[in-house]
Amino acid sequence: MERRSGQERRKRTLKTYWQGARTPRRRSGRRTSDLHYPVIDWHSPRVLALVLGILGLSVLDGAFTIVLLSHGAVEINPVMARLLPHGLGWFAAGKLALTGAGLCVLVACSRMRLFRVLPGESILYLVLLCYAALILYETHLLEFAHEAG
């Protein structure tokens, strides 16, 4: 028998969101169905460190890309290549927006088991390693461009 009246009794105010941000309650799934895909509102500080590292490397990648473009390189990312003619501000905003949106999805999935095997947080580590490898590669390209120019 359904006992709910159909009216929402909880009020959503700024105070509610502030309180929820300061004192998160859901640190793990509540139901057995949440075993593989938990929805939580608390993540470990390790996830924050990964996100900040990825964002920092993304900014560095953007700066290196701009310098490399000034030395004759070509942007191979088709989305970013479309933003370049509109100015560096659009390029930077697009880069951060795309990276940020992707990170939001990865953080939401960080406690899940992807394909029921792979911990979602490990994808964040993989993205961080890929960005680090990209930065090393771009550093090598910058040294080569500096020697050639």
Q: Is 25 part of a structural domain of the chain? A: no
Its domain, for residue 101, covers 42-148
Name which of 53-57, 112-116, 133-137 the model is least confident about.
112-116
Question: In this predicted model, what pLDDT tens digit does every residue of 81-119 receive, in sequence order?
Answer: 999 999 999 999 999 999 999 999 888 888 777 777 888
Q: Residue 29: is its pLDDT beyond 60?
A: no
Q: Is 18 part of a structural domain of the chain? A: no
Which residue reads 């959503």 in tokens? 12
How many residues are recorded in the chain? Answer: 149
**Residue 118 three-state SS:** strand
How large is the average pLDDT for residues 107-133?
87
Q: Is 139 part of a structural domain of the chain? A: yes
How do strand 113-114 and strand 118-119 relate by DSSP bridges? Answer: antiparallel
Q: Residue 41: is its pLDDT beyond 90?
A: no
Q: Is 99 part of a structural domain of the chain? A: yes
Q: Is 58 part of a structural domain of the chain? A: yes
The angle subtended at Cα 19 by Cα 46 and Cα 43, nearest 5°, is 15
pLDDT at 8: 65
Q: What does pLDDT average to over the chain?
A: 83
Domains identified in the chain, total number: 1
Q: How confident is the model at residue 10 (pLDDT cuts 50, 70, 90)?
A: low
Q: Is 137 part of a structural domain of the chain? A: yes
Q: Is 71 part of a structural domain of the chain? A: yes
pLDDT at 60: 97
pTM passes above 0.75: no
Q: Residue 24: is its pLDDT beyond 70?
A: no
Q: Residue 54: is its pLDDT beyond 60?
A: yes
Q: How confident is the model at residue 35 (pLDDT cuts 50, 70, 90)?
A: low
The angle subtended at Cα 100 by Cα 139 and Cα 122, nearest 5°, is 75
* Segment (H or E) for 143: helix 120-148
